[in-house]
Structure 1
Amino acid sequence: MASTSKATVPGGPSLGRSRPRYGELIIKVILVLAAVVSVATTIGIVAALLEPTIEFFGTVSVVEFFTSIEWGPLFNPPSFGVLPIVVATLLVTIIAMIVAIPLGLAAAIYLSEYAKPRVRKVIKPVLEVLAGIPTVVFGFFALTFVTPLLRDFLPFTLDYRNALSGGLVVGVMIIPTVASLAEDAMSAVPNSLREGAYALASSRMIVSLRVVLPAALSGIIAAVILAFSRAIGETMIVVIATGGRSIFTFSPAREMDTMASFIARAGSGDVPVGSIEYKTIFAVGALLFVMTFLMNYVSAKVVRRYREAYE
């Protein structure tokens, strides 16, 4: 009876079982560990916030916390209405997005559709360097340059520390986030769509706005939501430029205290550990975490809704 053997191709690889690839196994383990660390970090944050927050609401009424317009947990007597700092946070964030969205999208359209490859290789890294500037530098820039400039040219009176100046500079800070991610999404649009539009005698502007922009909409929305989350949690700029006065107002000309700036100031002060004032930091942090989580959740839903798949 003839014996069987594994077939081989002369000069080619063996069709038998190859040697174990330990390098790929190591890489796979590293990637799994990275994913586990990310999930564990999120769980750790939730665990750290949960117990002090529950203890806080065991003393302070939830209704008072979410409906009162008096915020002064470090005063005597204390007041725990979170609305003033929530409004201030949203006001600064909205001002920042008004600055960042048009400028960031304009930069993305230019880099993706107008700039030559050599120009893009220079401008995009320079733009991304803006994201590496420490936020404390942005804060002092807002306080010492932007605010005096606004006070000279605006017809109404600004407080020396105000939400308008802080919001404008936060917007400048997040421009690279919008521009870089939106440009990546637009560059991923197949050239066949552009060529088809040009074949119909469309101008470059029409191709950019009516073909490329809608095709990259999911990536652009993700960039905007990520920038929004980045702006809502910004700390140093608002600590320096926006101030720390907890008043309920919708005027960007007034000094305000945002959620992030309150956490920074209260956490760096002489608040006794375990006191109700100390637990207020965790309650505000938990609220900020929930707001950011909801924004990311909505972003994921919207991206899946408008995602375009190309072959």
Structure 2
Amino acid sequence: MIAPTDRRVIEREAVDAHEFAEGIATRSAPVVLRGQVAAWPAVAAGRGGHRALADYVARFAGGAPAETLVGPPEIGGRFFYRDDMRGLNFKREQIPLRRLMVELLRIADQSAPPALYANAATADEHLPGWAEENRLAFDPGGPARLWVGNATQVATHYDRSPNIACVVAGKRRFTLFPPDQIANLYIGPIDRTIAGPPASMVDPDAPDLTRYPRFSDALKHAQVAELEPGDALFIPSLWWHHVRAFGAINVLVNYWRDDAELPSPFVALVHAMMSVRDLPHAEKTAWRSWFDHYVFGANADRAADHLPDFIRGVLGPPSAERTKQLRAYVMGSLHQEG
């Protein structure tokens, strides 16, 4: 791996609810929480070996099948685009997690097994009862999601919400890049993605610096987190991260803050590509003043202070009513443009 190993993610011991709220949740950089979930029954089961972990998972009956990525041995566990970019190098199947564990056990000793990976399976839906037995010491702001598979890797991507990733079994390596490195990561299509958010085209473990020369600059800013069972990692919103799982069977649980009710800035970005990006330079410069005044400027939240409260409308302070007004305004505008 080329990413500099001397730029390790900062580490802390396990934290309680107060320490998380005051010292972790407000951070703008990742932090490893050593031993944060070491007391989980699931982690204890994993320490007993693959069979013990499979037996533990089998206790949770009645779950719905989970979306599972299935790739042939020749992809080496790297779920990605096909070489010609006309499709993906894997397929998706619906597999119950209990059955997936049985299959992972069956192929555990194969030298070149197929790549299997159930991703973001909500615990309450797919393993009812799991979340009650394996709880964090603080409120993560969203439900537990399970990631179960063998030796696989997920391309460098971002999450809209802060992410808390907890290793139950196996080892994980996260290679993280700050949000401002987007230009050096060579992002792939944003509307034809691998599994949700856009991803980097570069493999950090084997980067082609001839094809992607700016990636060498991204590596100067990379941070690496090596996680063992029982460890957790806090990843702030929009930090890019590549995830590599090691071992024949590995399990991770993550939590995203539940932002489902909040409008997505990504949608605003896409609309700006359509309406602003291709304007003449002088017009774009003029619109930049608007964006600075109403969105990015230090006093953007006070841009309507000179107006009476009753007339501010969509310029008013944050509230459910303002969000409703903004949605209606945007939808009306899009309807007129269409």
TM range (shorter): under 0.3
Which protein is bigger by CA-based radius of gyration?
1
* Greater relative CO (CA pairs within 8 A, separation 6+): 1
Greater fraction of residues in strand: 2
